[in-house]
Structures are given as structure tokens and as C-alpha cells.
Amino acid sequence: MELLISDSSASELIDDTARTGASGTTNDHFRPIHYIGSKLRMLPSILDALDRVDPSGGPVCDLFAGSGTVSFAAARRRKVIAVDIQAYSRVLCSAVIGGSPPPSELRHDVETSRRLIELNEAARPLLAIERAALVEAAKGRPDSLCEVVEHGSILEMQMGGTPHTNALNRAKLLTLRNLKDSGIDGVESVCLRHYGGTFFSYQQALTLDAAVKTCRVGYAGNDIALAVVLGTASQIVNTVGKQFAQPLQPRSKDGSVKLHLLRKMMSDRSKGTLETLDEVERQYAKLPSPASPDNLAYKADYLDALRDLGGAVSVVYADPPYTRDHYSRFYHVLETIALGDDPEVSMSNLGMGSRVSRGMYRADRHQSDFCIKSKAPSAFRALFEGVKTLKVPLVLSYSSFDDTVEGRPRVLALNDLLGIARTVFTRVDVNIVSALTHSKLNSDKLNKDAGGTSEVLISCQL
């Protein structure tokens, strides 16, 4: 999957290079969230490949739909059934292929909600701590702000973590007591308690909580409203690459502050959640209507979906993961927002003793067989055989890999993958799309040069 990470503003959710067609209407390019698996640059090739193997223009199943960019583009000309194991993907895909307008009063409803008032009142101690830390950072004294990012999670404190700053610790204890006294210390404040201070400012996090509450009560069943909240969270999150694998590490091993990250911390935390909600909602309002009124997005394992699809589609597009990186690690915060729950968080045994995982990952986050070397061959064979059972062609996105260049190795080599495909399908064609360098994340292990890779589309026909 191509790593296309950008740090653009909310107004650039629609890709700059393809914002409008000749008629002035938005075309095939729309990015609901910042997504490391985005296929925006490959959309013309993907759509052409679908048309080649299925010139009828019949319904397509986008089997690992992710952020929904391919589903959105395909829905301009075909009926689409979007499938993914992740709940946030189902929400995003439903929003971009459903054809309904977004709620124009979402910001107003969040801004005037009782929940926002309650959360602001409960979090006053932490809001004061963070405001003071930002003022100090602007004066060249960033230590307090670094402490907020490193140890700001209320959940970490609840599960035994010990913040270094006594004032911060007291503020977290007071805030938690206030939340309990108000009866909102559970799912009602999950963004504030889990992710406030670390991934978001406290104000941003509690406003996201209020927005989720507004969506689930005032806009129940409206996936576009919740998709706007997901897009907002993706825009304002304070990480490199706008993903959720882990919070920033603002200090080097010697304790010195990383100045470029300090600037990012201050910039991201200044982004208004309500203002961003407005921007994202306006982008959804610009989207053209899909070709079919009967598009569908649902949450399912790929094998279950293939068993259920008999006769419903005329072609399948699949973009499974193909490195060791489980996508659930990068988007677990969005998954929690989409599910609307208060998840158990995984623990880490790294270092001294057991502690909350630095990324505060969901304990139940999905682990894909496609990312596990011993299981990937069987997973791909099951995918191929499942599509064959439907008696329709398959277009599969993959990537070649030059093992002479240090990079993110594919769990399954391209030639091995093609060997499996050719035992199932009569005709297997490979189209090299382009040599694209993967964008970088924020870890040395993930920053390896992706040179020597080429995105490929594999067309499989009976």
C-alpha cells in the first residue's frame, strides 16, 4: 500500500491536483482522512484496470476499503460495495458513497451542547495547566508542554503511570474526580481521558467527545456526521504524519527538546476543533452524487464478505496490507471514535515493568493475517479462491520489492504471490503503475528508504 502522508489543511481534503473537472464539479479525488494506504495517485490506473477486466461497468466490491478513496472514485461510474474489517472504514465509505448531504448545523449543535459545557467544566484544571504550558513554551521554556505530551493521559495515571510533574498529576486527579461527579467518566469522555494531552490538546479532545455525543444523539445513523468528526480528528491530531501509531516524542535521549517538534506541538494544538468540523463538513457538501443510489458499506472480514457476495458484484478490487505493519495500529483512535466505546488498552512490557502501551492501543485491535509472514500465503490463497467462487475477475494492488535496497520488506514476495494466483486463475496479468517512494513516518524503523519499489496492479481472470 502506497504511503502517501500529507500535512495539508482541512480545505485540502480534496486533492489539489484534481479538485475540479471541466464542468467545475469535484472529480474522482477525495481524501476523507490522512491515510498511509491512500491510492489517490493510482486512481486512474485502478479504474482503467477495473474497466479492462469488467467492461460491463457492473458493481464492484472494494474489499479492503480503508479510507474509501477508491470506493469514492469508483462510485462515480459504478455501483460500489465497500467492505473493511474496521468500523472507521465503514463510516468513511458510507459517507463518501452514500450520496446524502452532511449536516450543516453540526458545529452549532456541538458548540451549544450540554455535553461540551459539562466536559469543559470538568476539565478546567487540565485546561489551565495546558494553557500555561503553551505560554511558557512560547517564551522558550518548553518543559511543561513536553510533560503534557509525554505524560498527559488520564488513563495512564489510572492504570499506574506516574507523571513527572506534580501539578499535572494533581490536575489529572481533579479532572477525573470532576468527571466522576458528573457521571461522565466512561465512554462520554474517552477522547479526553485516553488521548487528551498526548494525541490532542485537552480542549480538542473534549470537544471531540462532545461531537461524538452530538452525532450519536442528534444525528443517529448519519454516517456523514460521524465521518466529519473522524476527518476532524485526523486533521488536528498532534503527530508526524497525522496517524495514531504513537504520540510525539518531544525530547531526545539526552533530554534536549526537539525544536522542530516543539513548533509542531504548538501549531497543531492551536487548531480549533469546531472550526475544523466546519471545514470538513464543507468539503463533504461539495461531493458529487454517486452513479448508483444503492451503494453499500459494511464492516466484515474479507472471507465473510466473499461468502456473502454471490451474484452481487461483477468485479472485485482488493488492496490488502503487505508489510508487517498492521493498519489498526495507525488508526485505533479513529476506530474508538467510530465504535463509540471505552476500550481496554493494551499493556507494554518494554522497559521496567508493565505499563500502558505508548500508543494506548485498543487491546482488541485487529491483527491481519496478511501482515504475518507465516499466515500471508494462506490468506492470499483464500482471497483468490474466494473471488474465484464468485466467478468474477479480481484486480489486486500490490508492490514489488528490491531486496538489495533496505526498506519495508513485503511479507510475501511478488513472484510468490503471482505463483499462488496462477494456481487459482487462468489468466494473471501484472501492470507496473509507477515507481513511487513511500512517505515517511516518525520512527527510524519506519523511515527506511522505499527505493526499488513499484506499485503494481495484478489482474486475475478465470
CA quadruple 247, 151, 200, 343: dihedral positive or negative? positive
At residue 41, the pLDDT reads 86
Are 18 and 376 within 8 A, CB to CB? no
Q: How many CB atoms are located within 10 Å of the residue 191 CB?
A: 27
Are 215 and 222 within 8 A, CB to CB? yes
At residue 124, the pLDDT reads 98
Residue closest to 79 by CA, chosen among 98, 66, 63:
98
Distance of CA 259 to the CA centre of its chain: 27
Q: Which of 9-13, 19-23, 116-120, 448-452 has the highest mean pLDDT?
A: 116-120
Residue closest to 296 by CA, chosen among 63, 9, 38:
63
Measured CA to CA, the distance from residue 312 to residue 304 in angstroms comes to: 14
Measured CA to CA, the distance from residue 58 to residue 67 in angstroms comes to: 22
At residue 288, the pLDDT reads 93
Please check the confidence at residue 437 and state whether its pLDDT lies above 80: no
At residue 66, the pLDDT reads 94
Q: What is the mean pLDDT of residues 373-385?
A: 95
Measured CA to CA, the distance from residue 111 to residue 126 in angstroms comes to: 20
Please check the confidence at residue 156 and state whether its pLDDT lies above 60: yes
DSSP 174-202: HHHHHHHHTT-SSGGGHIIIIIBTTTB-H
Mean pLDDT of the chain, nearest integer: 86
Residue closest to 188 by CA, chosen among 207, 170, 210, 157:
210
Weakest mean pLDDT among 146-160, 290-304, 344-358:
344-358
At residue 428, the pLDDT reads 97
Q: What is the mean pLDDT of residues 85-94?
A: 97
Please check the confidence at residue 381 and state whether its pLDDT lies above 60: yes
At residue 7, the pLDDT reads 32
At residue 350, the pLDDT reads 57
At residue 14, the pLDDT reads 40
Measured CA to CA, the distance from residue 110 to residue 212 in angstroms comes to: 9
* Residue located via cell numbers 505463483: 419
Domains of the chain (ranges plus CATH)? 10-72+303-325+366-461 (3.40.50.150), 106-284 (no CATH)
At residue 371, the pLDDT reads 86
Please indicate whether residue 263 or residue 14 has the higher confidence score (pLDDT).
263
At residue 452, the pLDDT reads 46
What cell was used for 1? 500500500
**In the chain, % of residues over pLDDT 70:** 84
CA dist 454 → 153, 328, 420, 432 (Å): 40, 24, 20, 7
Q: How many CB atoms are located within 10 Å of the residue 207 CB?
A: 29
At residue 347, the pLDDT reads 82
At residue 451, the pLDDT reads 41
One-letter amino acid of 307: R
